[in-house]
A and B are shown apart, each in its own frame.
Chain A
């Protein structure tokens, strides 16, 4: 019963993007906005996957290189490279904005609950918790990310410091 609820909870609209060869999905409600690539100010002593910070309309937000975060090989940025600004609810209940760099933003899709499956429990717990589920679409399987789990707590501390 709880599983069903959980599944139902996962149904909804997702913003899909491409990272490498794979398509990922982000819950539409966690997305604040999509912006094109812009100059990033690098931060000293930051983890390698933190590119730096950007000034988004007077608001300085950190930018994560999701490729590095997912231990994927780095590529040269193209004109398709975008920053997705996601809104992250912190434990204190305060909303926080984080930019994640993706190869290309695809579209907004509606995923039905019947098309979502759990990720197989193979690797470390942290890794699998980052994946909300796998959406089976006609264009292929899309990896639905739980962005809060994907960017772990330490990152948030770091981000908070940065902010």
Chain B
């Protein structure tokens, strides 16, 4: 419960407790002092004046006795006057005594007023006896004087005795009152001492607890803040190195962009060259197409010519066949004739010769027809082969034509692709320019980042100082003191790097990207 309270509440609670205790001790002291005061006041205002007055009463009574005696002895009237004056004085004293006693109700109830009245009565008897003695003296009656003197002496004794008794009572009462006061003051002293010790103990405990309750979380907080400051310093170092690598990256990027730019120029030139070549190739292909068309026509003519040859050969072949048949028939006839001639014997000898000759002619005719047939067959075969060749040539030409058409199409596509490529290269150029700007922005951002990390570092320093102040305020923390040098040593290194590195990098980037018209860059350079 105590731990969960806020520091303010803790302090308030502690002080409240202390105030309560102080009020208690004050109250007790005041109470005791008032008790003593009552007693002392009683002594001062009642018993001491009573004693004093009683002394004065006794003295005045003695003086009256003396004055009466002196009148008796000397007979001078001034003693009577003295006596009367003293009597009045005595009356005044009695009145004062009565007033004093009347002021204290306890005394009134204690029968003190009665004692005073009794004393006053005794004093009156004493005064009467003295006046009786002085009257006797004035009458110069010695006997009467003596009896009056005896009476006076007796009354004086009684009066003195009463005064002494009163004084004893008063003294005893005063002693009692003083003793009570002393006892009260002593008990007050003891109580006050005990209470003081209690307050001391409670106050010490409270002070310890409060101090602990305030300093412990505060120390923890300081430690945490200190740790935070350390981490901030480390982080600012990391930010610094990151901005360094960012700047390096920006410079490398810038160099790459330059290379890319030159490569793009080459690419553009190549693309243009490609487009031109494609156009030339297109023209050539068109010519080739025309030539192919002509070749096609020639091939068609050739084919028809060869068909003619074939047909003529076939016609010739038919004729030859007829001739061959005729030769065969002639041969048969010659053979029949030979058979007939042989059957005829000697008579057919001449006929046999003729038949043989006819047969020879037939054979020759057949032979010639066969040769011619072979020749024509060969011709036909060759024509057929040629026809096949022409067919394949035709196909080849058709293939060439198709290929040239495809080539034309491809070239057209290449031309279109080159055009698109050109557009693409333009877009890439734009993109490279934009990338260039981005690189500039990156460099600027790296610089800003570096300065921000520097700022961060100084803020960490300020925080650390504040923490040190705070630590000093709560009275030196061992943990903080242990952390302190670590923080400062870690913090100084990245800060130094922050200052030097971005400048070098921005200069590199500037060298790598010398854009004269970049106003921002000039500002950026000036800022460095």
Contact = CB atoms under 8 A, between A and B. Distances in A.
Contact of B339 (A31, A80, A82): A31
Nearest to B332: A34
A149 to B, nearest CB: 21
Contacts of B359: 107
Contact of B335 (A15, A29, A32, A80): A15
Contact of A36 (B332, B339, B355, B356): B332
A23 to B, nearest CB: 15
Given A34-B336, A107-B359, A29 B328 contact: no
Interface residues of A, number: 16
A134 interface: no
B379 interface: no
Contacts of B525: none
A148 interface: no
Interface in B312-337: 325, 328-329, 331-332, 335-336
A32 B335 CA distance: 11
Contact of A108 (B328, B329, B332, B342): B342
B338 interface: yes
A33 B325 CA distance: 19
B138 interface: no
SS class, residues of chain B in contact with chain A: helix
A35 interface: yes
Contacts of B154: none
A28 B337 CA distance: 12
B332 A105 contact: yes
B325 A79 contact: yes
B328 A28 contact: no
Given A79-B325, A80-B328, A28 B342 contact: yes
Contacts of A36: 328-329, 332
B343 interface: yes
Nearest to B339: A31
Interface string B332-374: 1001101100110000000010011001000000000000000
A129 interface: no
A127 to B, nearest CB: 27
A112 interface: no
B234 to A, nearest CB: 112
A79 B342 contact: no
Contacts of A7: none
A28 B332 contact: no
A38 to B, nearest CB: 12
In this complex, the member of A31, A36, A79, A108 whose beta carbon has the largest number of chain B beta carbons within 10 angstroms is A108
Contacts of A31: 339
A13 interface: yes
In this complex, the member of B335, B336, B359 whose beta carbon has the largest number of chain A beta carbons within 10 angstroms is B335
B232 to A, nearest CB: 115
Given A36-B329, A79-B328, A80-B328, A105 B343 contact: no
Contacts of A35: 332
SS class, residues of chain A in contact with chain B: strand
A31 B352 CA distance: 15
A105 B335 contact: yes
Nearest to B324: A79
A28 B325 contact: no
Interface string A105-145: 10110000000000000000000000000000000000000
A15 B332 CA distance: 12
B338 to A, nearest CB: 4
A79 B322 CA distance: 12
A86 to B, nearest CB: 11
A108 B325 CA distance: 20
A29 B332 CA distance: 17
A33 B329 contact: no
B339 A33 contact: yes
B370 to A, nearest CB: 12
Nearest to A110: B342
A28 B335 contact: no
Contacts of A33: 336, 339
Contacts of B331: 105
A36 B331 CA distance: 11
B335 A108 contact: yes
A29 B342 contact: yes
A40 to B, nearest CB: 18
Interface in B398-449: none
A15 B335 CA distance: 8
A15 B329 contact: no
A15 B336 CA distance: 10
A131 to B, nearest CB: 21
A80 B335 CA distance: 14
Given A29-B342, A107-B338, 8 more contacts: A34-B335, A35-B332, A36-B328, A36-B332, A80-B328, A82-B332, A108-B338, A108-B352
- The 8 A-B residue pairs with the shortest CB-CB distance in the complex, in nearest-first order: A108-B338, A28-B342, A13-B342, A31-B339, A34-B335, A33-B336, A34-B336, A34-B332
22 contacts: A13-B342, A15-B335, A15-B339, A28-B338, A28-B342, A29-B342, A31-B339, A33-B336, A34-B332, A35-B332, A36-B329, A79-B328, A80-B328, A105-B331, A105-B332, A105-B335, A107-B335, A107-B338, A108-B339, A108-B342, A108-B355, A108-B356
